[in-house]
Amino acid sequence: MPWATLLTSPSPPITTANRSSLPPPSAATRHHHHHHRLPPDRLALLIDKSKSITQLLPIHAFLIRHGLDRHPILSFKLQRSYSSLRRLDYSTALFHRTQNPDVFFYTAIIHAHAVNNLHQQALDFYVRMLTHGVEPNAFTFSAILRSCPIEPGKALHSQALKFGFDSDTYVRTALLDVYARGGDVVSARHLFDTMPDKSLVSLTAMITCYAKHGDVDGARLLFDGMEERDVVCWNVMIDGYTQHGRSNEALVLFRQMLGLKVKPNEVTLLTVLSACGQLGAVELGRWVHSYVVNNGIRFDVHVGTALVDMYSKCGSLEDARLVFDMIEDKDVVAWNSMIVGYAMHGFTEDALKLFTDMCRRGVHPTDITFIGILSACAHAGSVSEGWKFFHLMKDEYQIEPKIEHYGCMVNLLGRAGHLDEAYELIKNMKIDPDPVLWGTLLGACRLHGNYGLGEVIAEQLVSQNLANSGTYILLSNIYAAAGNWDGVARVRTMMKGGGVQKEPGCSSIEVNNKVHEFLAGDLRHPKSKQIYVMLEEMYQWLEAHGYTPQTDIVLHDIGEFEKKRSLEVHSEKLAIAFGLISSQPGATIKIVKNLRVCSDCHTVTKLISKITGRKIVVRDRNRFHHFVNGSCSCGDYW
DNA sequence: CTAGGGTTAG
């Protein structure tokens, strides 16, 4: 690249060869050729109007030809344009050819690196600035502190104090953000409280800090006290809820935002789509889709991918695929979302075909891609395919398997009955297994009745204090099935004593653009009465179809009648009952559950789909179940 | 003689 060499070489010899390799001069520069002297402000305007590197290069060439490339303003503007086109290589080269860069140029080049997360380079420029005797000002500090890690940030903090810039609102906000990103909420709050004047941006930075570190309610408190709000702080607050599994509150806030006529932007819509996906709120998701189309929001790869993710998590794979096919310049994230979508729905062949397409187009798979592929294999029970991709990932793509990949493999092997193979895989892992992974193997032991191995693992987990709420339940199932009542009693004592609690099962269903959530035995819904009447009717149908409740999966130490009752009010059954009374006959019922569906609910849902002639789609923690006319798309294999 | 530089969401 002669052009690059020209820019990086310490002396600037412009040879004929260099010039001939430049892009052809644009109409503008051809025009300038005739008037050898163009006023700098005209050139400045030309630079500012340039929208691509191919427009910029001929102007740069022109500047060099006319000895204007060291003009402080013009080279400054040129580097700013290069930076905004993410060509920091050209920016840096230009900087190094500038004789005595002033504080403006230094600040701009520091900023350019900081926004691209190149902290070290930004710091290098800052040090260079100091050694060259150029004095930094408040502008320099706010630029360098942006995206600066906490350790160098602390050093810069003390320097800012020395220079007296820490009371500047921009510098103070940037400092607050440094501590916030470093997780030091207390220092961030202190900087915030002692701030001379709090701006909208500094408030937003503080809200971001709380939202990021789990105190969503603390964030909301500040948010509610704001005098003015812009789209950014709304986005922060909505995203705070979404990132902490409180998507329903996110959507409530989004509706308030719309009610106050605040115009959502792309970031808002990406967050809201994610919330819709979490909740299975496809009606609102579709509304967001039409908003994108009708409000001139650019349909880029980010928006496209968010829509694919939303539609597939809401059970509308066809729509996901339609959107996916519309995305131009698909990146690996876009491919991953569609592959994972197919995998979630048990469409193993489509997932694998998409993987082949993706590789053929030269897109390199990531660890996420293989989570999709391996879980697709697991859902189909394809053991040899699974091993093939597991090895392909390590050998061909040099991706070290993470705990999630082992999870897919253990699930695949375990469900297929290759328990010893799964156990060996875990024992030979380079990373430490977690309770979830052991739980997967324990579940497989229970499924295949291998209580011997189950007890070995169980003892090991209990002795190493590795059992969690999920594994305790499996443990007691296995002990009970093996007739080890001492074990059952011991687990029960540990669960009570250690404060181990099962994560409450929660099912949600969207009706009329609103998401209704149900916990087991929930009575909070305004239509509770009708729901329980429907539930009773459902059980009359079920019994007429020869259904017997699987009371053996209930862990509590209660009588048979109570066991039956506790099964009846599982959250997904309440959601289905509500779905039945609040939609037209024949309409599909879509449920989202936070845990894996239990086998009793699976049986019941199959029967209900047959009795009512309705399609019922259930998304559980692991995958989708499409219930049609008495059978499920998972083939009872989940 | 003057131009030009900064903080928050993803």
Average pLDDT over residues A204-213: 97
Instruction: Report whether pLDDT(A20) > 60.
Output: no
pLDDT category of residue A555 using cuts at 50, 70 and 90: low
Region A402-426 average pLDDT: 95
Token pair for residue A621? Answer: 């923690």
Q: Is the confidence at residue A36, as pLDDT, over 80?
A: no
Confidence of residue A517 (pLDDT cuts 50, 70, 90): very high
Q: Which nucleotide is nearest to A302 if distance is taken from CA to C1'?
A: B10
pLDDT of amino acid A38: 66
Choice between A100 and A480, residue whose per-residue pLDDT is larger? A100
Neighbours of A224 (CB within 10 A): 8
Q: What is the mean pLDDT of residues A459-478?
A: 78
Sheet with strand A631-632: strands edge to edge: A514-519, A506-511, A589-593, A616-619, A624-628, A631-632
pLDDT at A576 over 90: yes
> Picking from A214-223, A321-330, A490-499, which range would have the lowest pLDDT averaged per residue?
A490-499
DSSP for residue A134: P
Q: Could you give the CA distance from residue A148 to residue A182 in angstroms, rounded to a whole number?
A: 9
Is strand B in 7 Å reach of the CB of A301?
A: no
The spacing between the Cα labelled CA in A10 and the C1' in B8, in angstroms, equals: 39
Residue A443 has what pLDDT? Answer: 87
Judge whether residue A340 has pLDDT over 50.
yes
pLDDT at position A16: 30
The structure tokens listed for A244 are 């902490």
Chain B: positions less than 7 Å from a protein CB are 3-10
* DSSP bridge partners of A592: A508, A619
Which residue in this structure is represented by tokens 């009952």?
A: A577
Give the mean pLDDT of A237-242.
Answer: 98
By C1' distance from the Cα of A142, the closest nucleotide is B6
Report residue A35's pLDDT band, with 50, 70 and 90 as the boundaries. Answer: very low
pLDDT band at A417 (very low <50, low <70, confident <90, very high): very high
Nucleotide nearest to A80 (CA to C1'): B4
pLDDT higher than threshold 50 for residue A573: yes
Nucleotide nearest residue A44, measured CA to C1':
B3
Nearest nucleotide by C1' from A110 CA? B5
Å separating the CA of residue A455 from the C1' of nucleotide B10 = 47
Residue closest to sugar C1' of B3 by CA = A73
Residue A506, SS3? strand
Q: Does residue A384 surpass a pLDDT of 90?
A: yes
pLDDT at site A65: 86
DSSP string, A200-217: HHHHHHHHHHHHHTT-HH
Please tell me the least confidently modeled range out of A250-254, A379-383, A389-393.
A379-383
Q: What CA–CA distance (Å, rounded) separates A34 from A57?
A: 19
Q: Which two tokens stand for residue A164?
A: 């007296």
Q: How far is the CA of A38 from the C1' of B1 (A)?
A: 19
Q: How much is the average pLDDT of A1-7?
A: 31
A298 CA to B7 C1' in angstroms comes to 27
Mean pLDDT calculated for residue range A83-108: 90
**pLDDT digit string (tens) for A477-492?**
777 777 778 877 887 7
Q: What is the C-alpha separation between A370 and A389, in angstroms, rounded?
A: 8
Strand partners, A510: A515
pLDDT for res A145: 96
In chain A, positions 95-124 with C-beta closer than 7 Å to nucleic chain B are: 102-105, 107-108, 111, 114-115
Residue A543 vs residues A540, A552, A562, A577, A585: alpha-carbon distances, Å: 5, 18, 17, 16, 22
A254 touches strand B (CB under 7 A): no
Lowest mean pLDDT, pick from A162-166, A172-176, A465-469, A495-499: A495-499
**Mean pLDDT confidence for A6-23:** 32
Does at least one atom of strand B sit less than 7 Å from the CB of A625? Answer: no
What token pair was written down for A223? Answer: 């948010």
Instruction: Give the start-to-end residue ranges of the domains of chain A.
Output: 506-632
CA A253 to C1' B5, in angstroms, rounded, equals 37
In angstroms, the CA of A112 and the C1' of B4 are apart by 14
Whether A81 CB is under 7 Å from strand B? no
Non-local (6+) Cβ contacts of A353 within 8 A are: none
> What pLDDT score does A501 carry?
66
Percent of chain A with pLDDT over 70: 93
pLDDT category at A535 given cuts 50, 70, 90 is very high
pLDDT of residue A6: 27
Both tokens of A284, joined, read 């609102």
| pLDDT-wise least confident of A5-19, A541-555, A562-576 | A5-19
Statement: the CB of A248 is under 7 Å from strand B: no
CA A72 to C1' B2, in angstroms, rounded, equals 13
Closest residue (CA to C1') to nucleotide B6 in the complex: A139
Span A45-59, pLDDT tens digits: 888 888 888 888 888
Residues 197-236 on chain A lying near strand B, CB distance under 7 A: 199-202, 204-205, 208, 212, 230-233, 235-236
Cα–Cα nearest to A92, from A83, A84, A100: A83
Q: What are phi and psi of A195, to 5 degrees?
A: -75, 130
Name the closest nucleotide to A76, judged by C1' and CA. B4
Lowest mean pLDDT across A5-9, A123-127, A188-192, A350-354: A5-9
pLDDT band at A258 (very low <50, low <70, confident <90, very high): very high
Question: What is the rounded (10 degree) CA torsion for A269, A350, A406, A418?
Answer: 150
**A177 strand B contact, CB < 7 Å:** yes
**A353 and A335 in contact (C-beta within 8 Å)?**
no
Q: Find which nucleotide's C1' atom is closest to A205's CA.
A: B8
Residue-level pLDDT at A498: 67
Q: Could you tell me the distance in Å between the CA of residue A95 and the C1' of nucleotide B6? A: 19
C1' nearest to CA of A173: which nucleotide? B7
In angstroms, the CA A396 to CA A355 distance is 14
- Rounded to whole angstroms, the distance from the CA of residue A268 to the C1' of nucleotide B10 is 9
Residue A9 has pLDDT above 50, yes or no: no
Higher pLDDT, A189 or A98: A189
Q: Provide the sign of the torsion angle of the four alpha carbons A21, A26, A31, A35, taken in this order.
A: negative
Q: What is the mean pLDDT of chain A?
A: 89
Q: For position A494, what pLDDT does the model report?
A: 75
Which residues 6+ apart lie within 8 Å of A513 measured at CB?
A: A281, A283, A284, A287
Which tens digits make up the pLDDT trace of A420-457? 999 999 999 999 998 889 989 998 998 898 988 988 88
Which residues of chain A between 34 and 73 are close to nucleic strand B, CB under 7 A? 40-41, 72-73
Q: How many distinct helices (H) and strands (E) make up chain A?
A: 35, 6
Nucleotide nearest to A108 (CA to C1'): B5
Give strand letter and number of the nucleotide nearest A48 (CA to C1'): B4
Query: Is the distance between the Cβ of A140 and the closest atom of strand B smaller than 7 Å?
Result: yes
**Distance from CA(A125) to C1'(B5), angstroms, rounded:** 14
Higher-confidence residue: A280 or A559? A280
Quick check: A121 pLDDT over 80? Answer: yes
The pLDDT > 90 percentage for chain A reads 68
